[in-house]
Amino acid sequence: MIYKCLTTHQKSVVFKVTETFRILHKEDDEEMRSTRSKDEEVSRQEENLLKLFSSSVDSGNTLSIDNVSSILSCIACIILHIVFSVFMCAKYSEISDQIDRTGPHIEHGQASFAFDLETVVLLHLLPGSVYPSRNFNIYGFQTDTILYYINYWQTKAQQEFTKLKYGDPDNHLKSFAAVGVDINFQAGIPSYCDNETIPINSHDLYDCMSSEIAISYVEMIVNRLVNIYTSRNEIYGGNEEDLTNLYHCMQHHIFDRFYYNLFLSMTNKVVESVEKDLPLIDEIGIIICIIAIVIEIINMIAIQMSENNLRYALSLLLMCPAKMVLSNSHILNVLGGNFHNKTLDQTTRGSDFYDGLVEEMPDSVIIITAGGIINSANKATTSLFNKTKEELVGNRIDLIGNLFKEGNPFQKYFDGNIQNISNSDKAANKETNIEMKLSFDKDDSVVHVLMNLVMLPEGIFVSCRDITQQVMYDKLIQDEKLRSDSLLASILPPRLVSRVASGEKNISFAVQTATVVFIDIVSFTPWCGSTPADKVMKTLTLLFKYFDSSTASHSTMTKCKCIGDCYMAAGGIFADVNQPAVHAKDVVEFGLEALDNIVRLNKEINESLQIRVGINTGGPLVAGVLGTEKPTFEILGPTINMAQQMEHHGVPMKVHISRSVYELIYGSNFKIQERGQIEIKNSQVVTYLVSRE
């Protein structure tokens, strides 16, 4: 392309280039040549250079050597990448198959030991489930359940041990001994054990057993103790010697001697099967990387050679006169990076280009005369308003203006029946831009447009952009914001929602005094353990709904949190004027309403649940929002701990208040009964019970 630029110059310019070459490369004896011989040499050089330029132009369309080298190096790198990827996939597949053959045995070994150990643990729990006592009561473990799982887990342990030792034909799994691991049942047997050794106690008996026999021995003792209870209804004691022997045998004689070494051998076998192919993978990867680097080096050398040729060709332009280079449009295009052989589009110099541009614009464009007549409209206008050009051009603008729900926007800009632009706009004699948002019905849907009016002395220029999608997106964003604010309002106090939504990080403030209430269900854990999960959640949801309703009915109260079956609220946190007597009375009334709510709930679900209510007033407290991903409202201070103690030491179905609350509500319409002194955190305090008069 650069050589072709040189051929566009005049012959005199090419002569100057050849003259420069002659001066640079002439020999010493050239000084003695005659003028005629010089002219012949210049002419000959001139013709040779023109031939060089012509031959370069003729071959310009062929594929250059640097392009070929780049393509070939790229193809080679792709092939190397594919080969290495296929090799890695094959190797990883082979490693996965090896893990599939060896990995399950680890699971079978661990499962076999775990199931046997669980049967021994359940055997320890059986006496406590048969004869429960205050000091030894196993919640959630009934006798039938323990007996069932002892039998079930012992069966599972035997099945897992069988799969470990003999394999699993159903899953095409060979025994672990078949894959190269020696299962040594005799490991760890003391040297004094022989056929002449007579055991004097149970420990000496199983100490000389192989691991496999010891496992059978443990299962036999478990079955013997279970059968004694199931057949004769006699239960062994919790201090039975067999229980100690069983646990010791499982932990030391079976796990330490057999399973530990077995698990270690299994793990080493799996790691060995994975790592044996790693050196080959590394070698192949290094070889492929070296080949790729060599290819890239060759490609870079080819690119450097091409760059040298390009620099040489550009240096030829430096020998041309600057004015001639700057006056050649073809050379300027090449130097500017435009290597395409295109002629200048002549339509850019006439009105046809601009007319075509307006016609194809995505926005609606309408030209209105001073008399309110549509002079022209583009394709977007006909598509937007479902009108043909024949219906629009030559007719009054009210044909479109009357479509809008907001009224005809053009009416006020014309006098009378839209005959002339109003005199005030004419008198201005300047352009005025007016922007408005309008909407109209189209094909059973609403279309929103952004209309821009440009007031000109000879008429009005109107452009309309379809912003329906933008309006819908804005509406969706607004709906999502409202939904987000509603969600935040359900977990945070309403006064803090706007601050959290705006991204404020540090939200905290001090409260002079507040009244804190804790409500907890009595004996909730046993009731929860014996009740279906869905009923528990349904009951708590309904109960907290009643509490939330009561909280909302008291203006000074704010719900803080729910932890399990515990409900926490406070009064006076967001009060404009902190009046302890007011929020203390509100919280006590809330506590009495909570007792009514639990009675109401029991009738609805046919239960007999009871609650404890504890209330305390004090301050100051610190309140604020903790966390950014999941913000929660928290209040901190000693007053909260005292309120929690009031609930903890409270009386079921009574409102338990501290001395500070009593002093604030004394004289109100409550029945207050002194409970006396109770010990709270190593100190004696006087508390009271409140009920309705």
Length of the chain: 693
Return the pLDDT at 228: 87
User: Tokens 């609805």 map to which residue?
Assistant: 604
Distance of CA 56 to the CA centre of its chain: 59
Return the pLDDT at 341: 54
pLDDT at residue 585 tops 90: yes
Read off the pLDDT band of 106 (50, 70, 90): confident
CATH number of the structural domain 505-692: 3.30.70.1230
What's the rounded Cα separation, in Å, for the pair 21 and 9?
17
Of 63-72, 176-185, 371-380, 642-651, the one with minimum mean pLDDT is 176-185
Read off the pLDDT band of 667 (50, 70, 90): confident
**CATH class of the structural domain 348-466:** alpha beta
Instruction: Name the average pLDDT for the chain.
Output: 79
Residues 367, 374 contacting (CB under 8 angstroms)? yes
Q: What is the pLDDT of residues 491-528, one digit of tens each?
A: 677 777 777 777 777 888 889 999 999 999 999 999 99
CA dihedral for 83, 84, 85, 89, sign (positive or negative): positive
pLDDT at residue 542 tops 90: yes
Q: pTM of the entire structure? A: 0.39
CA max distance for the chain: 140
Of 77-86, 350-359, 412-421, 661-670, the one with minimum mean pLDDT is 412-421
Read off the pLDDT band of 427 (50, 70, 90): very low
Return the pLDDT at 300: 86
User: Percentage of residues in the chain with pLDDT exceeding 70?
Assistant: 78
Distance of CA 664 to the CA centre of its chain: 51
Return the pLDDT at 182: 62
Q: Is 288 exposed, middle or buried (0-12, 13-18, 19+ CB in 10 A)?
A: middle
Fold of 89-276: Four Helix Bundle (Hemerythrin (Met), subunit A) (1.20.120)
- What residues have CB less than 8 Å from 563, skipping those under 6 apart? none
Give residue limits of the domains in the chain. 2-62+305-335, 89-276, 348-466, 505-692
Return the pLDDT at 643: 92
Of 59-63, 114-118, 656-660, the one with minimum mean pLDDT is 59-63
- Over residues 390-399, mean pLDDT: 88
If one compares 10 and 88, the residue with the highest pLDDT of the two is 88
Picking from 413, 426, 419, 420, the residue whose alpha carbon sits closest to that of residue 456 is 426
Read off the pLDDT band of 168 (50, 70, 90): confident
Q: What is the pLDDT of residues 676-688, one digit of tens each?
A: 888 888 788 999 9
Return the pLDDT at 612: 95
Return the pLDDT at 536: 92
Q: How would you list the strands of the sheet with 445-456, edge to edge?
A: 374-377, 364-369, 459-466, 445-456, 432-442
Note the helical H segments in 233-374.
241-248, 260-275, 278-318, 322-326, 329-335, 351-359
Q: What is the pLDDT of residues 186-223, one digit of tens each?
A: 666 777 677 666 777 777 777 788 878 888 888 898 89
pLDDT at residue 348 tops 50: no
pLDDT at residue 391 tops 70: yes
Report which secondary-structure segment, H or E, holds 20: helix 11-25
